[in-house]
């Protein structure tokens, strides 16, 4: 009997310690723990709120006047947004007929893309060779380059990874900025 009373006293003491150590405010939200809310269920529309009902906190709002540092924020692209960037990089084309490659992926297939090549070295006329395991072709072609820029739009029929190899028709070589944009269907 004595052991039973001592065991009950220890269990009661442990319960008091656990309850006494329970947080009074959630560290992330600053609200009381859900177990302390009297009612977390919103009232039906048109009905008065039950006693103790607290509406959920609003979405995060940045402080008034806050602006991210220049050049650090870019909104995330969505799969259906026209103009989504698939590749945006600078490649270095070797002189004497060399090329520079980059890869990008398209999912699903039959997507319309725009390839823009801009020579960053004077006198270059960039063009590209586009390949996929199921097909390849020159794109954008050499005859579309003007004033160091080349720009073309096409539909990529297959889904998966494409490789774009950039060349310089003058064989001078140099740096070329490459952008591949997903335009939609």
Longest dimension (CA), the chain: 100
User: Contact, 158 vs 171, CB < 8 A?
Assistant: no
The model's pTM: 0.55
What integer pLDDT is reported at residue 24 of this predicted model?
58
- Residue 74: pLDDT band with limits 50, 70, 90: very low
Q: What 3-state class would DSSP assign to 154?
A: strand
- Residue 109: pLDDT band with limits 50, 70, 90: confident
User: Contact, 117 vs 149, CB < 8 A?
Assistant: yes
Q: Which domains, ranges and CATH numbers included, belong to the chain?
A: 84-184 (2.60.120.380)
Assigned token pair, 56: 């959920």
Report whether pLDDT(143) > 80: yes
Report whether pLDDT(93) > 80: yes
Report whether pLDDT(163) > 90: yes
Q: How do beta strands 149-156 and 111-119 pair?
A: antiparallel
**What is the tens place of the pLDDT at every residue in 22-68?**
555 555 555 555 554 444 455 555 666 666 666 555 555 556 666 65
For residues 171 and 149, what is the distance between their CA atoms, to the nearest angstrom?
15
What integer pLDDT is reported at residue 88 of this predicted model?
93
Mean pLDDT of 127-154: 89
Assigned token pair, 16: 């008091």
Report whether pLDDT(82) > 80: no
């Amino acid at each position: 009997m004595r052991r039973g009373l001592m065991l009950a006293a220890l269990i009661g003491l442990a319960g008091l310690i656990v309850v006494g150590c329970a947080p009074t405010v959630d560290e992330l939200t600053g609200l009381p723990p859900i177990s302390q809310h009297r009612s977390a269920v919103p009232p039906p529309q048109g009905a008065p709120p039950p006693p103790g009902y607290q509406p959920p906190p609003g979405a995060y709002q940045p402080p008034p006047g806050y602006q991210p540092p220049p050049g650090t924020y870019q909104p995330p692209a969505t799969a259906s947004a026209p103009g989504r960037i698939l590749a945006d990089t600078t490649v270095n084309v070797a002189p004497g007929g060399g090329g520079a490659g980059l890869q990008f992926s398209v999912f699903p297939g039959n997507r319309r893309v725009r390839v823009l090549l801009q020579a960053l070295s004077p006198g270059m006329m960039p063009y590209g060779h586009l390949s996929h395991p199921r097909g390849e072709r020159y794109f954008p072609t050499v005859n579309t380059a003007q004033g160091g820029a080349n720009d073309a739009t096409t539909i990529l029929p297959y889904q998966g990874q494409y490789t774009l190899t950039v060349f310089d028709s003058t064989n001078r070589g140099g740096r070329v900025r490459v952008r591949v944009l997903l335009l939609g269907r």
